[in-house]
Amino acid sequence: MAHIDVLDLPLVLLSNRGPVSFDRDASGRTVNRGAGGLVSALAGLAEHLEDAVWVCGAATEEDAAVAREATGQALLVQTHPIPHLVDPRFGDAVPDGPAIKVRMVVTDPAAYADFYSIWSNPILWFVQHGLYGRSLSPVLTQAEHDAFENGYVVVNRAYADAVADEVRARGGKALVLLQDYHFYLVAEHVRQQCPDVVLTHFVHIPWPGPDEWRVLPADIRERLLTGLLGSDVVGFHTRRYARNFVLCAGELLGLPTDLDALTITVGDRTVRARYYPISVDPAALDTTLASEQVNAHVAMLRYIFLDEDRQLMLRVDRTDPSKNVVRGFLAFGTLLEQHPELVGKVSFLALLQPSRTDVPEYADYIALIGGVVAEINAKYTKEGRQPIDLRMVEDFPLAVAAYSICDVLVVNAIADGMNLVAKEVAVVNRRGGVLALSETAGAHEELGEFAVTLHPFDIQQMADAFYTALTMPLEERHRRLAAAAEQVRTHDVARWLGDQLTDLRRIAGFA
Ligand code: GDG
């Protein structure tokens, strides 16, 4: 992946999940590298820059133990080939491979629970994905108000203090990259302590318009917005989200805005809303696709799903209500009802990763998914073949294998910041796979013209779109896939990061 060689200023990153996590087994302390495109992209950058530090939450008990032993200071962690701590107190003193400075923040467990399991998920997640039915939810009581003050605010302050501490340790001026909906109050606190920072807050999930935000009490939504406006740049995946943010600043805070320039005036500062569509690392995906593990999975999946002229539909999602799994299966049921010739010919493989099962809405959603799958399988099983193969698994090589051989990828999210699965399939599919893509997934802004568009609430429309995708001439399928792959390969995750850093350096006066 391409790297930025010179930033001219030190770099401070903040995300809830960090680049490494510690655990303990029989042999003692173990270190695991974080997975996923975002962590790899940021880790690639942080490994490359000597004066970078990554502030993150202590996610495990062992993380908290390590953080306490380091008395809250940053630690050097070698990431390759074998991840381990590099510190005279813990073993090696000098890294002999890429390493990252990591500062893990430990907060009071009760405050963290209010911050994470009440405000970040579900409340902010539900507001921003439009998941509340509104006639009966949300119900905000004193408990939610308390959880905001004693959880979200307290934890945000603790992380902001850690970021500010690292900025001060670097002379008070640094490029700061904050990630996601957990930390809307951080930018303002950091700027108060370090007025010379140059700061981007990137929001990975959709940003809805002002009326959606009116679900939250006025003082809370105003504090969230004001917190974010401590940034120089607030980054989103799409232009639509960036516009919505500017609209919110104008309507909910009464600030002067320019919708064409996507800017907001805050006192004597200009805050820019920008869009940087996140992407994948195509080279890493190519390597994964070529691995023995993936090849073995491909052979198994072909044997199960693709003998003779059979076809495979696929979805890969966390079991999150925003992913709209239940309606996706209802649409598949409609497809089979209206096109009985497809029964026994088309399978739908769903690889679902259980997610946030401590949140009641998520646990209930898994039960609903199980119910609808049972119903469709009972109705349309033919010669022992069940039409839906539902697997609750965490297995990335299996997902990549399925990406490479599916005929149709289904992404019918109610709302999705971007959706990386669609981009991954565009890169690794070798079968002329058709993207069936929700118009409300961020990825639709870039890939919609190569996809079959889904309307996530319209079961009949989705069933018709599935039929169009399954019966599309092969040549057309390959043409669309090649165009989608080209778009993703030329707009990879390195570019996502590079564009943000270029803008920050410009704001800091270096470019
Ligand atoms: C949020 C936003 C935005 C798949 N199976 C496994 C596995 N995966 C990988 C996928 C993909 C990732 O997980 C899921 O990313 P998505 O983007 O599709 O969705 P969210 O998790 O909701 O991500 C989203 C994203 O942040 C980035 O900004 O695009 O809109 O909601 O890469 O291939 N990963 C592991 N095991 C699996 O079995 N570890």
Q: Pick the atom of ligand 1 nearest to 395's CA.
A: 38
* Helix (H) or strand (E) segment spanning residue 337: helix 325-338
Class of residue 90 by CB neighbours under 10 A (exposed 0-12, middle 13-18, buried 19+):
middle
Q: Which residues contact 314 (CB under 8 A, 6 or more apart)?
A: 348, 349, 350, 351, 402, 403, 406, 408, 409, 410, 425
Res 49: pLDDT? 86
394 Cα: distance to centroid of ligand 1 (angstroms): 11
- CB-ligand 1 contact for 281 (6 Å cutoff): no
Ligand 1 neighbour 83 (Cβ under 6 A): no
pLDDT of residue 1: 47
Ligand 1 contacts CB of residue 17 (under 6 A): no
Domains of the chain from N-terminus onward:
282-490 (3.40.50.2000)
**Which residue type, as a one-letter code, is found at position 311?**
Q
Strands 233-236 and 198-202: parallel
Is any ligand 1 atom within 6 A of the Cβ of residue 392?
no
Q: Cite the DSSP H helix spans in 10-74.
A: 37-48, 61-69
The residue nearest atom 35 of ligand 1, judged by CA position, is 396
Cβ atoms 448, 465 nearer than 8 A? no
Give all strands (DSSP E) within 346-450, no chain letters: 346-353, 388-392, 408-411, 434-438
**Within 13 Å, how many C-alpha atoms sit on residue 291's CB side?**
16
Ligand 1 pocket test: pick from 396, 406, 425 the residue with the most ligand atoms within 8 Å of its Cβ.
396
Q: How far apart are CA 262 and CA 197, in angstroms?
A: 21
Instruction: List CB contacts of 67: < 8 A, sequence separation 6 or more.
Output: 58, 104, 105, 106
Give, in order, the Cα–Cα distances in Å from 19 to each of 39, 217, 247, 429.
6, 35, 34, 28
- Radius of gyration for the chain, computed over Cα atoms and rounded to the nearest angstrom: 23
Protein residue with its CA nearest to atom 20 in ligand 1: 419
CB 387 within 8 A of CB 347: yes
CB 166 within 8 A of CB 189: no
Question: Is any atom of ligand 1 closer than 6 Å to the C-beta of 204?
Answer: yes
Task: Name the β-bridge partners of 13.
Answer: 54, 177
Say if ligand 1 is within 6 A of residue 278 CB: yes
The confidence score (pLDDT) of residue 38 equals 75
pLDDT of residue 346: 98
Q: Is 235 in the pocket of ligand 1 (CB under 6 A)?
A: no
- Which of 420, 423, 493 gets mutated to test ligand 1 (max ligand atoms within 8 A of its CB)? 420
Tell me how far the alpha carbon of residue 354 lies from the centroid of ligand 1, in angstroms: 12
pTM assigned to the model: 0.95
Rounded Cα distance between 32 and 22, Å, is: 6
Tell me the two tokens of residue 64.
């908290």
pLDDT of 5 = 57
Does 353 sit in the ligand 1 pocket, CB within 6 Å? yes
CA dihedral 465, 468, 469, 474 (to 10 degrees): -170
**Can you give the pLDDT at residue 90?**
60
Ligand 1 atom at minimal distance to the Cα of residue 393: 38
CA of 353 relative to ligand 1 center, distance in Å: 10
Whether the CB of 316 sits within 6 Å of ligand 1: yes
Ligand 1 centre to CA of 419 (Å) is 7
pLDDT at 160: 98
- State the distance from the centre of ligand 1 to the C-alpha of 484, rounded, in angstroms: 19
Each residue's pLDDT expressed in tens, for the chain with a length of 511 residues: 444 556 789 999 999 999 999 999 998 899 998 876 678 778 888 888 888 999 999 999 999 999 999 998 999 999 888 888 887 666 667 888 889 999 999 999 999 999 999 999 999 999 999 999 999 999 999 999 999 999 999 999 999 999 999 999 999 999 999 999 999 999 999 999 999 999 999 999 999 999 999 999 999 999 999 999 999 999 999 999 999 999 999 999 999 999 999 999 999 999 999 999 999 999 999 999 999 999 999 999 999 999 999 999 999 999 999 999 999 999 999 999 999 999 999 999 999 999 888 888 899 999 999 999 999 999 999 999 999 999 999 999 999 999 999 999 999 999 999 999 999 999 999 999 999 999 999 999 999 999 999 999 999 999 999 999 999 999 999 999 999 999 999 999 999 999 999 999 899 888 7
| Side-chain-side CA neighbours of residue 214 (13 Å) | 7
The ligand 1 atom nearest the CA atom of 280: 32
pLDDT for 441: 98
CA–centroid distance, residue 86 to ligand 1 (Å): 30
